[in-house]
Amino acid sequence: MDELKVTPIKPIVLQRSYAYTTDIALYSDCTRHYLLCWVFGFESVEGIPELLGTLVNYTIEDIHQALKAGIDVTEAHLTIWIAEHYGPFEQRGIEDSAMKQIVYQHARSYLEYVRRQGLTVISFELGISSFVGDYLMNGKLDVVMKRNGSYEIIHFKTGRKSKPEGEQVRYKKKLLLYTALWEQRMDMRVDAMRLFYTGEEKSEQVVSFTREETRASGCEFRDGGDH
């Protein structure tokens, strides 16, 4: 029998992985909340706002999937999708017809915006990642749209629009990070970054950012990292 030759292998170093929403933003908002959820393993309690956001996001994902498949989405589609997504909550004894109507209004408002703006769905619910020094940065894009040959990233919010010095500043950083991750992976330049508030009136639905505005606010992306 031939001798078994064993060759030493290099030690494997697993790089720590972080996501903006579930790690960076959560830690920035409340370090104790981050400690309880991600160090000690406690689960956050889902309330009514979180339930609304979940149902709206599920329905918007249905819209994207249908539009990408070339389906002409109707109001009947929205009603069916919302009923399907709400079914598991009804089985748990959570019945709220008003909630379904609110979800419907949010989803229809977004669908009307897409049609009004002539947007084409390129990719949605896309997980992307990039190495940032010794760490792996993860993100998930809500949707990448194409408008007249240009690409834009849209991130959804179901709450009311906040003041610029609050939530919007944080989401400028998030959108810039997602833009850089997308461009590195897909080699496609993003020309616009937008927050879409599904519960706002038509004139107040969209907040748009440019690279120049985002960097002027103190956000900058270097070597795949957000600073």
Fold classification of 18-27+47-226 is Lambda Exonuclease; Chain A (3.90.320)
Report how far residue 115's alpha carbon sits from residue 94's, in angstroms, rounded to the nearest whole number. Answer: 33
What mean pLDDT value characterizes the chain? 77
Report how far residue 18's alpha carbon sits from residue 164's, in angstroms, rounded to the nearest whole number. Answer: 26
Around 116, how many Cα atoms within 13 Å sit in the side-chain half-sphere? 9
Residue 23 has pLDDT above 70, yes or no: no
pLDDT of residue 155: 92
Which pair of tokens denotes residue 209?
Answer: 């950012």
Q: How far apart are the first and last CA of the chain?
A: 59
Of 14-18, 90-94, 121-125, 175-179, the poorest mean pLDDT is in 14-18
Higher pLDDT: 226 or 134? It is 134
Q: Report helix, strand or coil for 28.
A: helix
- List the chain domain ranges: 18-27+47-226
Higher pLDDT: 27 or 72? It is 72
Instruction: Convert the pLDDT of each residue in 145-154 to its tens digit.
Output: 999 999 999 9
Report how far residue 88's alpha carbon sits from residue 59's, in angstroms, rounded to the nearest whole number. Answer: 15
Residue 221 has pLDDT above 90, yes or no: no
Percentage of the chain exceeding pLDDT 70: 65
pTM: 0.72
pLDDT band at 16 (very low <50, low <70, confident <90, very high): low
Which pair of tokens denotes residue 71?
Answer: 């389906």
Give the pLDDT mean for 48-55. 74
What is the chain's percent helix, strand, coil content, to nearest 5? 50, 25, 30
Give the pLDDT mean for 222-226. 44
pLDDT band at 225 (very low <50, low <70, confident <90, very high): very low
Residue 102 has pLDDT above 80, yes or no: yes
